[in-house]
Amino acid sequence: MTRNALTDFASVTPIITQLRLFGGTTEAQLATIFRRLELWSLAAGEFVFHKGDEPYHIYIVKSGRIALQIAEDDVVIRKHEIHVGECFGESSLLSMHQHTSTAIAACDSEVIALSRRALIELKHEDVTLFALLMMNLARELARRLYLTDQMLLAATAQNARPEEVRSGLHWS
């Protein structure tokens, strides 16, 4: 894997401007963010991070595909495949919990990385931009939680009688 400062902003502008993470930002704010981005090049099979690693970045796929996998003992489950223009790693970074899955390049890929350090710098340099990014991240994570809840409900409903579904749904 090679890591470099991102210098060709024009090549990522179409991707970055479509992301919910950067919704509502001005051109000046995007320029502030761009200065902090890194470009990572990965060969097929290289790891972005492993389950249990500390989270240090939010990642955006620039090219290729990243597979998220969960492994326990001898069982490996392909959780999701991340495509161009999609983010990953943000929930671990915000929660400050170790990664719960492994991210691996499914093919030769490039990812754009925004580090925790860069976010902290933004907090001190432009609190308005930092607050906007945090609000956008919170919205995206809420959307994902909603979708996960819907998937869990659908899976539970397929495998249980209605009375079992009702009795099993509660917050703990």
Phi, psi of 92 (to 5 degrees): -65, -40
- In terms of C-beta density within 10 A (0-12 exposed, 13-18 middle, 19 or more buried), how is residue 87 classed? buried
Q: Supply the pLDDT for residue 24.
A: 92
How far is Cα 169 from Cα 153, in angstroms, rounded to an integer? 9
How far is Cα 105 from Cα 107, in angstroms, rounded to an integer? 5
Q: What domains are defined for the chain? A: 2-168 (2.60.120.10)
For each of the chain's 172 residues, which pLDDT tens digit applies?
A: 899 988 888 888 889 888 888 999 999 999 999 999 999 999 999 999 999 999 999 999 999 999 999 888 777 778 889 999 999 999 888 888 899 899 999 999 999 999 999 999 999 999 999 999 999 998 988 887 888 788 778 777 777 655 554 444 444 3
